[in-house]
Amino acid sequence: MNSNAVIAIHGGAGTILRASMSASAETEYHAALHAVLSAGQRVLADGGSALDAVSEAVRLLEDCPLFNAGRGAVYTAAGTHELDAAIMDGSTLEAGAICCVKRVRNPILAARRVLEGSEHVLFTGEGAEAFAAAQGLELVEPAYFDTEARHRQWLLARGQQRAMLDHDGATLAAASSSNHDDEPTPHEPIDPNRKFGTVGAVALDRHGHVAAATSTGGVTNKQVGRVGDTPLIGAGCYADDATCAVSTTGSGEMFMRMVAAYDVAAQMAYRNVSLEEAAHDVVMNRLPKIDGRGGLIAVDARGNVTLPFNTEGMYRGFARLSEAPVTAIYR
Ligand code: ASP
């Protein structure tokens, strides 16, 4: 039995405006991260697989409206929601993903069914929904994903005729509701104008296997049909027992162009560097070269954990067995 079992999660990265932080919002985020880590920890402590732990953690994050995945997802340019998710098992290199779904309550569960029940890796749109329905997963009315906060962000992004990262829109919303245009309304701990709200989890289980899962609503006011890095194996999600498990958050197009998640694993395999060195190189050196902003979480089969980001903050945390979960927001 591997005594280094561990789970790590993220809930998006972005610019921190301390002025925009309210104590109650910060407490709420820490509590949400803590609860998800505790749930993941329980799965691992009971001997569950890393795959089970990351599925459960991401399912809970999808159900939490604080994060841009599942309920609380951002809006497309058409005022709809299109959700993406991926999951990978490091012990078998099996993977499953779905993108552009509008009615699947928990996209990560659909991705998992693709991994387990299909010869394919990625389903999109109607086909993905039909697959999820045939697998007995819960479908919801599209309005289930609506939240007031994301709707406000969308109206502002639409007014500016641009697509923006989840939390870019949120800061705009906070600023616009403030009397002082240059002072954000105390609301979220990370400047919501500069936040990427995707969620993800990586874990090492007691059997020595790793897994990764990532889920998102994408970017606010995105064009209908736009797909980012999240559901692409190797870009937003990757796992291999021989190297590591990785889940990313940030400007998806740049993470796709850098094949960011796989690059961490590849550097470990081909350059023989540590998890930390590989992840640091991707986030701090390679992504910034093409203006890629965000971060990632990663674990390896020895129980090393790293959570680098090149923005001012990233909602994040990790938990080892029988130790209290550690959560953080700022640098
Ligand atoms: N990477 C996600 C995407 O581009 C956005 C995010 O991380 O918030 O869809």
Counting from 1 in the atom list of ligand 1, the atom nearest the Cα of 249 is 7
For residue 260, give the 3-state DSSP assignment.
helix
What's the pLDDT score for residue 166?
Answer: 67
What is the band of 177 on the pLDDT scale with cuts at 50, 70, 90?
A: low
| Residue 227 assigned to a binding site | yes
What pTM does this model have? 0.93
Nearest-CA neighbor of 170 among 29, 327, 9?
29
Mutate to test the pocket of ligand 1, among 216, 221, 227, 248 (most ligand atoms within 8 A of CB): 216
The number of beta carbons lying within 10 Å of the beta carbon of residue 69 is 34
Checking if the pLDDT of 186 tops 90, the result is no
| Residue 218 assigned to a binding site | no
Measured in Å, residue 243 CA sits from the centre of ligand 1 at 24
What's the pLDDT score for residue 15?
Answer: 67
For residue 27, give the 3-state DSSP assignment.
helix
Checking if the pLDDT of 185 tops 50, the result is no
Checking if the pLDDT of 329 tops 60, the result is yes
What's the pLDDT score for residue 95?
Answer: 99
Of 19-23, 75-79, 200-204, 230-234, the least confident:
19-23
Measured in Å, residue 48 CA sits from the centre of ligand 1 at 29
Q: Which domain holds residue 227?
A: 6-144+192-330
Residue 163 inside a domain? The answer is: no
What's the pLDDT score for residue 67?
Answer: 92
Mutate to test the pocket of ligand 1, among 165, 188, 311 (most ligand atoms within 8 A of CB): 165
Residue 162 inside a domain? The answer is: no
Checking if the pLDDT of 324 tops 70, the result is yes
Mutate to test the pocket of ligand 1, among 99, 167, 195, 198 (most ligand atoms within 8 A of CB): 198
| Residue 228 assigned to a binding site | yes
Find out whether 233 and 95 touch, Cβ atoms under 8 Å: yes
The residue whose CA has the least distance to atom 8 of ligand 1 is 196
Residue 184 inside a domain? The answer is: no
The size of the chain, in residues, is 331
Catalytic residues: 198
pLDDT in tens, 99-112: 999 999 999 999 99
The number of beta carbons lying within 10 Å of the beta carbon of residue 186 is 17
Which three-class secondary structure string do you get for 42-80?
HHHHCCCCHHHHHHHHHHHHHHCCCCCCCCCCCCECCCC
Element (H or E) spanning 10, and its range? strand 6-14
Checking if the pLDDT of 184 tops 50, the result is no
Percent of the chain scoring above 70 in pLDDT: 89
Residue 37 inside a domain? The answer is: yes
The number of beta carbons lying within 10 Å of the beta carbon of residue 230 is 31
Q: Domain count of the chain?
A: 1
- Angle 273-314-210 (CA atoms, 0-180°, nearest 5)? 45
Residue 165 inside a domain? The answer is: no
Mean pLDDT of the region 25-31: 93
Of 193-207, 235-249, 252-266, the least confident:
193-207
Residue entry with tokens 């954990």: 305
For residue 167, give the 3-state DSSP assignment.
helix
CATH number at residue 116: 3.60.20.30
Residue 168 inside a domain? The answer is: no
Measured in Å, residue 1 CA sits from the centre of ligand 1 at 35
Residues flanking ligand 1, CB < 6 Å? 12, 68, 165-166, 196-198, 216, 218-219, 228-230, 249-250, 252, 294
| Residue 326 assigned to a binding site | no
Residue 169 inside a domain? The answer is: no
What's the sign of the alpha-carbon dihedral 149, 79, 216, 173? negative
Looking at residue 184, the DSSP 8-state letter turns out to be P
Residue 185 inside a domain? The answer is: no
